[in-house]
Structure formats: structure tokens, C-alpha cells
Amino acid sequence: MKYTSCWIMEEKKTLRETRRHQRAISVNLMSFCVCVCVCVSGMLLAGVVLRNVPYVTDAVYIDQNWSAALRNVSLAVILTRAGLGLNAAALRRLKAVCVRVAVGPCLTEACTVAVVAHFLLELPWIWSFMLGFVLAAVSPAVVVPSMLLLQSEGFGVQKGVPTLLMAAGSFDDILAITGFTTCLGIAFGTGSTWMNVGKGVLEVLAGVLAGGVMGLLLHFLPSEDQSDVVLRRCCLLLGLSVFSVFGSLAAGLGGAGGLCTLVLAFIAGLSWAEQKAPVAAVVGRFWDVFQPLLFGLIGAEINISSLSAYTVGLGVSTLCVGLLVRVLVTFCMVLFAGFNMKEKIFISLAWMPKATVQAAIGSTALDMSRSAGDEQLQIYGLDVLTVAVLAILITAPIGALAIGLSGPKLLQQDTHTLGEQHTHTLTHTHTAAGHTHTE
């Protein structure tokens, strides 16, 4: 009797601890998501204040050339980090559902935004598609850490939800950046339409080829027997990445730089294998420095006095239509993938946040328009940047909070792991009770 009573009490205690543990996970995830929202939004709003508050604007001068240069360096750093974060094993074992989640929502949102922007914002078709691909990328800065936290606690692990979203997120960003790169090359081409299309394709091929060659070069340089090899690799990797971005602009192939950097970092990380982690950690510290510069300078490009409520309203409408289509298409892409209804809803919600990629490439078209000296193109570029900033301010908080609130509730915790822990606890209790009874 005493043995049974002890077993029941221990089982209730274990269940209470499990519920307490789940609540703690929810709090941790919510805390992380709130921090992401505050940081990203705060950086952007700080830049907006620098540009639009009279006394602050008079005290601070931001040179456009230096601003563009710093944003390009920040672009090189974040794309280097993204390239190092690509999982080669996930690439090899990519399943159909991962391809669908990566490609379907990205292309449909890009096309939807392009059509809506063409008629609402009156952008030319090529600029509309450029805006579409800017908005189509999901934010790895929000999605990846959230998925790692959920995965570490066993949520969605049995169905592979965190792995799916992390793997598909990388390819979603690559597709969006490639589409943007192609449209950028076409928009700033000076020849016929077919010639501009050919130039856009050439930029993509040049970026992939140059990135592959430089990535292979980093396999041999520096050699592993050198001292401070991690620091040397970081210097070479970041140096070549920055060179790729600025070199492509100087060569008149502005769209090739970003893709070249992404491929360069991926190939280099692939060749370094287990030694990639220390390099990625150092690049992450560089990103900590350049992230506020990137988001702050992006915010400083927004002149509120030159924006009309009508334009902002149309931009928000364009964004909302694209988001609605993205969520619906994402849900359809996982219909026959073995997920239950709650998991499908979570995947659709987790595919909303936008932040890093939009900040990285949102101002590229505006910078190239200023270099070209075309006032009409500068208006188009400012429209693209404005909608990109609105996307960050709206979707980053909503998406991050949606992940934080719905993750522990919609995803199943790995019952096998919990069962093992529960069995271990009960076995220990039974043994202790048996010893007590014997005594």
C-alpha cells in the first residue's frame, strides 16, 4: 500500500514538473521573441529619429556615400553569416516538402506583391517584381534561433518541424536574393529587354562562378598548420566578401555581389567541415557590430515629411495581401506531408517574419539609382525601401510573437524523450521504495 501511494505521488510530482517545464519554455521563447522585436524595431526607429526629429537631425550629419558603403559592408557580413549557416547535409537529404515550403510561398508572394504593387503603387513591372522578391524572404534572425530553442526542448522534433523550417529558410532566402539580383540587373540595364534579361542571368552565373572559385581558394589558404588559422580565415573570408560586393558594383554587375558572397561562404564552410564553427562565431561577432549600423542607416533613409499617408497605406495594403497569400500557400504546401492541423498552422505562422534580408537588400536599388543620377529611379527605389521598412516593423513583431505564443501549444513535445525521463524517474522511485520496504 505504501509502495503504491509513493508511486502515485511521484507520478503526480513528475507531471507537475513537466507542466512547469513547459511553462518555463514558453516564457523563455517569449522573452527571446520580445528581445528580437525590441532590438530590430529599436534600431530602425533610432535611424528614423536621426533623420526626422529636427534638433537631432541638425546635430547629426549622415553622408550618403558613407551610408551606402557601410550598408554594403553590412550586407557582405550578413550574407557571409547566412552562407556559413547553410547545412550541406540538409541540402543532400532535402525532401519534397522542404522544396515546396522553400519555393512555393516565396514565388507566390513575390508574384502577388508584384501584381499588387504594379497597380497600387504604380511601379513598373520589373520594379514591382524587385519589390516582390525583397518582401518574399523569411528572416533567419527570427526563425532560426526560435526553432533551435523549440528543438532543444523536444517540440516538433518527432515530425521534424524545426529542421524543416531551418533548412527551407536558407533556400527561401537564396531564391529571393537570386530573384532580386536578376531583377536588379534587368532594371539597370541600358540595352534592349532581351539584352537586360541576359545581363541579369549573366550576373547570377558570374556570382555563382566567382563565389565557387574563391570558396575553393579558401580551402587551401591559409593552411591549417599556420598560427591563428581561425583569425586568418575570418579576415580572408570577410575581405573577399566585401571585395565581391564592391567589386561587382565597380564592374557594373551590381546584382552578382550578394550571390557571390553567399556561395563563397557556403563553399568555404563546406571545405572547413568541423572547423567552420569557430569562424562562424567570429563572423557572428562582426554581425553584432554591423547589425545596428545596417538597421539604423536603413531607418535614416526614411524621410517622413516626404511620405504621404496614401503611399504608406498602399504599401501596407500591398504587404498584407502578399502575407495573406504566403500564409495560405504555406498551409497548402504542407497539406500532404504528414503533419496534423496544429503543426500546419504553426508552420504557416512561423513563415511570416521579415527583417534581416529586407534590411540587407532593401536599399540596394535606391543606392544604385542615386549612382545612376536618375530622379525617377530614385523615387522607385525609395518606394521599395519604404515598403521593406514597413515589412520589418509590422511582420517581425507579429511573426516573432506568433512563434513564441503558438510553438509550445501547437507542436507536440517528443513523447519518447519524456517517456524515457518519466520511466527513469519512476524506476528510481520504485527502487528506493523497495529498499525502504525491505528495511
| Per-residue model confidence as pLDDT tens digits over 398-431 | 887 888 788 888 888 765 544 444 444 444 444 4
* 8 Å CB contact between 128 and 106: no
CATH 3.30.70.1230 correct for 12-420 = no
Give per-residue pLDDT as tens, 362-401. 888 888 888 888 888 888 988 898 898 888 888 888 887 8
Q: Is the pLDDT of residue 351 over 80?
A: yes
For every residue of 47-88, DSSP letters joined together read HHHHHHSHHHHHH----HHHHHHHHHHHHHHHHHHHHHH--H
pLDDT of residue 421: 43
Dihedral in degrees, nearest 10, Cα atoms 34, 40, 393, 352: -70
Mean pLDDT computed over 343-368: 85
Average pLDDT of the segment spanning 245-268? 82
Q: Residue 276: which residues within 8 A CB-CB, separation 6 or more?
A: 84, 269
Q: What's the pLDDT score for residue 423? A: 47
- The ranges assigned to domains in the chain are 12-420
* Per-residue pLDDT tens over the stretch 305-336: 777 788 889 999 999 999 999 999 999 998 88
Top-confidence range, 161-175, 266-280, 423-437: 266-280
Comparing 289 with 56, the larger pLDDT belongs to 289
pLDDT-derived band at 80, boundaries 50, 70, 90: confident
Residues 6+ apart with CB under 8 A from 218: 233, 236, 237, 240, 264, 267, 268, 271
Say what the pLDDT of residue 431 is. Answer: 45
How much is the average pLDDT of 180-184? 85
The predicted structure's pLDDT at residue 8: 53
Which one-letter DSSP state was computed for residue 160?
Answer: T
Q: Assess whether pLDDT exceeds 60 at residue 83.
A: yes
Residue 23 has pLDDT above 60, yes or no: no
Helix, strand or coil, per DSSP, at residue 155:
strand
Q: Which of 12-21, 149-158, 400-409 has the lowest mean pLDDT?
A: 12-21
- Per-residue pLDDT, 94: 53
CA distance 395 to 293: 21
Mean pLDDT of 198-214: 82
Q: What is the pLDDT of residue 108?
A: 95
> Quick check: pTM over 0.85?
no
Between CA 343 and CA 330 the distance in angstroms is 12
